[in-house]
Amino acid sequence: MKKKVVVGLSGGVDSSVAAAILLEQGYDVIGLFMRNWDSTANNDVLGNPGLEDEICAQELDYQDAEKVAKTLNIPIHRVDFITEYWDNVFTYFLDEYKKGRTPNPDILCNKYIKFDAFVEHAKQFHPDYIAMGHYARVVHGEQTMMLRGVDDNKDQTYFLSQLTEKQLEKTLFPVGDLTKREVRALAHKYNLSTKDKKDSTGICFIGERNFEKFLSNYLPSIPGLMVNEANDVIGEHNGLMYYTIGQRKGLGIGGSNTHGNRPWFVIGKDLEKNQLIVGQGFHHPTLYSDSCLVDDVNLINIGHFEGTIACTAKFRYRQEDNEVTIEFVGEELMVTFKEDIRAVTPGQAAVFYQGDVCMGGGFIKEVYKNNERRKY
């Protein structure tokens, strides 16, 4: 009997080609389309695109997924995970912004929606595996390992770093061995309707929009002062939640006789005073740190080890690998950098690697320089 796979069909080219590859490999393939955001229920009338446009975009994605399923002659089902997304992803997203941190909802979306709620729903079809169109690889054996995707520019292991070995054991990533160009070529070969469709961007399942307007639907904006390290008032901010460490764009600070024309960057936040701390120069020393504390630790097939492990780390998506050592401090990880790193930001993910193997990761809780906590 053919092994059965339920594949997440999003209406995009990557998942479309993933389904086609699985069919070619001899699997019995079922498509499942997820709808995780209800603009009407959430009264998202200030976002960009508008409510009507967004509903249309969601429906178009489903129609594209249907067309792909028809071309491949596979069944497709649709399911709503709106409540699960709100409870497990979006509330976390809002809570992190309230704390002045910069969250990454895509990581929790993978953990709780695509590889949890999706898996539970897919059980009714009795699959041997579930599959997604992510650029990553899984090695199934005595130990399940997740490897970077072959395409360095598209590798998505950063966003999959909270998955456990149990979640990965029954997971396939059919496009992980391909480059994006090869995926597009296969989409043309199979004559899939998504072959020239643009990649989706923006917040996981929420998409592109005017971020400040969108966030203001759920959190009140509290304007305040922008100050430098000498506490000189440099300008005003629209709300601390709209800014991240190392940011230059959107500060609205021009040159002055007092401070000169060098560009300004966000170098810290003071939540108690509601002040945004800014400094001049891309390489402002306050932006650099030598270690950080990571919580919500998920290490794939690595237990609570003793001592230290040498590895590399990414603190932002598409960032170059940084040499670090990691060691447990209670249930958290202390990460020590071989060289100082710029703009390591609380709330962002820290993801660890040994070569191509993704070891897992966690979320940055605190950032340090010379054992002093940065005011981020």
Q: What is the pLDDT of residues 22-81, one digit of tens each?
A: 999 999 999 999 988 765 555 444 344 444 455 566 788 899 999 999 999 999 999 999
Per-residue pLDDT tens over the stretch 6-34: 999 999 999 999 999 999 999 999 999 99
Pairing, β 224-227 against β 275-280: parallel
**Among 330, 335, 337, 334, residue whose Cα is nearest residue 304:** 330
Q: Tell me, what's the pLDDT at 45?
A: 40
Q: Tell me, what's the pLDDT at 211?
A: 66
Contact 219, 50 (CB under 8 A): no
Q: What is the pTM of this model?
A: 0.90
C-alpha–C-alpha distance, residues 91 and 112, integer Å: 13
Average pLDDT over residues 260-270: 93
Active site residues per annotation: 109, 204
Per-residue pLDDT tens over the stretch 116-148: 999 999 999 999 999 999 999 999 988 999 999
Structural domains in the chain, sorted by start: 4-212 (3.40.50.620), 221-280 (2.30.30.280), 288-373 (2.40.30.10)
Confidence of residue 255 (pLDDT cuts 50, 70, 90): confident
Per-residue pLDDT tens over the stretch 176-226: 999 999 999 999 999 999 999 988 765 665 655 566 777 778 888 899 999
Per-residue pLDDT tens over the stretch 202-213: 566 565 556 677
For CA atoms 135, 140, 146, 150, the dihedral sign is negative
Q: Tell me, what's the pLDDT at 36?
A: 82
- In this prediction, what percent of the chain has a pLDDT beyond 70? 91
Q: What one-character DSSP code corresponds to residue 2?
A: P
- In this prediction, what percent of the chain has a pLDDT beyond 90? 77
> How many whole angstroms from its chain centre is CA 158?
7
Please give the backbone phi and psi of residue 304, each rounded to the nearest 5 degrees, phi first.
-80, 85
Contact 113, 88 (CB under 8 A): yes
Count the helices and strands in the chain (H runs, E runs).
9, 18
248-262, 296-310, 356-370: least confidently modelled range: 248-262
Strand partners, 28: 4
Which long-range contacts link 140-145 to residues 24+ away (Cβ below 8 Å)?
A: 140/169, 143/301, 144/168, 144/169, 144/300, 144/301, 145/300, 145/301, 145/357
Pairing, β 171-172 against β 129-131: parallel
Q: Tell me, what's the pLDDT at 260?
A: 86
Q: Tell me, what's the pLDDT at 51?
A: 47
Q: Tell me, what's the pLDDT at 18?
A: 98
Contact 176, 151 (CB under 8 A): no
**Mean pLDDT of the residues in the chain:** 91
Average pLDDT over residues 238-248: 93
C-alpha–C-alpha distance, residues 148 and 135, integer Å: 8
Average pLDDT over residues 239-256: 90
Q: Tell me, what's the pLDDT at 209?
A: 57
Q: Tell me, what's the pLDDT at 3?
A: 97
Q: Tell me, what's the pLDDT at 207?
A: 56
Q: At what angle do helices 13-24 and 51-72 cross, to 10 degrees?
A: 20
The alpha carbons of the chain give a radius of gyration, in whole angstroms, of: 22
